[in-house]
Amino acid sequence: MTALTGPTASADHIYATGLRNQWHPVVPSDFVAPGAMRKVTALGEQWLLFRRSDGALSMLADRCPHRGAPLSLGKHLGDRVACWYHGVEVETDGTVSSVPGLPGCNLEGKKLVTSLPVREIGGAILAYFGDEKHPEPAELTLPEPLTDPDVDAILCYAEWNGPWRFAVENLLDPMHGAFLHHESHTMYDGDTTAKFRIRETERGYFFEKTDQRGVNFDWVELCRTGVDWVDLTIPYPPSAGPGGPFGIVGMVCPVDENRTGVFFWRYRRVQGWQRDTWRFLYKTLIEERHWQVLEQDRVMLEAMPADADQRENLYQHDLGVVRLRRMYRAEAEAQASAS
């Protein structure tokens, strides 16, 4: 069975395509209907998402163990996939169950295709990407807003052309809200000057303004709980309905070196009729405005040169980004040296 991170994976490659030995979001759950399969790219590799008719999901390397043909071009057989090229059948755990051209050959009964552990939460598929030394999935603690029954979260997904790190760094940069998103319906208020601090937590760190709270995009928390995610809140006026501040849980998928899947769960603490009111307001009014904000992020990040983080002059507002880069770079180097 081929590991995702082989012995030749360099720190630069890992840094460019995503850290291993942790969970990552892949695509929204509804991208793979019951009884269907879908080819996806994640961490620079090709994968096949395979869903049985009962809803059970599997994620396999998109590579037939016989001649390397894409399994995604094959046939869904209910509990296994048959390669189109020579009919080799592979079960959802990566075991070759049948070689129709030569029954009883030594491929049968062997696990020859990588199969990743998967979880589904909040309408998204998460997968664990390990290497040969860390095949067992890391402990996963899911974001509280996605598991709390008193919180209603709505997933928004998009794909952007740019490095995955740029998308995470954008979230660890609260000050951009007062400039890039100044014309939005939620981030028009507050000072355009601020001082920031890093506050450590058991699961990551806060990057927050020291002189303003509850006015704009004033803080963000990076959480590392088996999967990397951020949490932030933006104040909402009473006209936006019940539920208090508007929260966002954000994750990213490193599709490859130059493409990123972004996952944003918009959430509020609402129950009963308030949940219905919140969802109605979101779908009829708020969602379009939020897409406008995301579009501003997309345009800016896609316009940045690939070496933008190599030719900078940073200042105090960038402490959160600097901390993030050092942490990710150190992990990439550690993973490369251990492979």
The two three-digit tokens of residue 184, written as one number: 């939005």
- Please, which residues have CB within 8 angstroms of residue 302's CB and are 6 or more apart in sequence? 160, 161, 162
Mean pLDDT over the full length of the chain? 92
For the segment 141-154, the average pLDDT, to the nearest whole number, is: 96
pLDDT tens per residue, range 77-96: 999 999 999 999 999 999 99
Contact between 12 and 30 under an 8 Å Cβ cutoff? The reply is no
Q: What amino acid is encoded at 295 in this protein? A: E
User: Which of 24-33, 239-248, 262-271 has the least mean pLDDT?
Assistant: 239-248
What are the Cα distances from residue 267, in Å, to 63, 153, 189, 324? 38, 4, 21, 25
CA atoms of 112 and 129, how far apart (whole Å): 17
Contact between 174 and 160 under an 8 Å Cβ cutoff? The reply is no
Closest CA to 292 of 181, 134, 154, 215: 181
Contact between 302 and 260 under an 8 Å Cβ cutoff? The reply is no
CA atoms of 199 and 92, how far apart (whole Å): 43
CA atoms of 244 and 92, how far apart (whole Å): 44
CA atoms of 209 and 213, how far apart (whole Å): 7
Task: Output the pLDDT for position 187.
Answer: 61
Decide: helix, strand or coil at residue 279. helix
CA atoms of 90 and 95, how far apart (whole Å): 6
1 against 109, higher pLDDT: 109
pLDDT tens per residue, range 302-331: 999 989 999 999 999 999 999 999 999 999
Task: Output the pLDDT for position 210.
Answer: 85
CA atoms of 167 and 157, how far apart (whole Å): 13
First to last CA, the chain: 16
CA atoms of 93 and 80, how far apart (whole Å): 9
- Count CB atoms within 10 A of the CB of residue 283: 11
- Please, which residues have CB within 8 angstroms of residue 287's CB and are 6 or more apart in sequence? 154, 156
Q: Is the pLDDT confidence value at 30 over 90? A: yes
Decide: helix, strand or coil at residue 17. helix
Contact between 199 and 211 under an 8 Å Cβ cutoff? The reply is no
Task: Output the pLDDT for position 91.
Answer: 97
Q: Is the pLDDT confidence value at 6 over 50? A: no
Q: What amino acid is encoded at 279 in this protein? A: R
Q: Is the pLDDT confidence value at 2 over 50? A: no
Q: What is the pTM of this model?
A: 0.93
CA atoms of 195 and 79, how far apart (whole Å): 56
CA atoms of 56 and 58, how far apart (whole Å): 7
Q: Is the pLDDT confidence value at 148 over 80? A: yes
Task: Output the pLDDT for position 217.
Answer: 76
Q: What angle do CA 169, 136, 17 make, to 5 degrees?
A: 30
Pairing of strands 37-42, 196-201: unpaired
What are the Cα distances from residue 131, in Å, to 11, 14, 21, 111, 175? 14, 11, 6, 16, 37
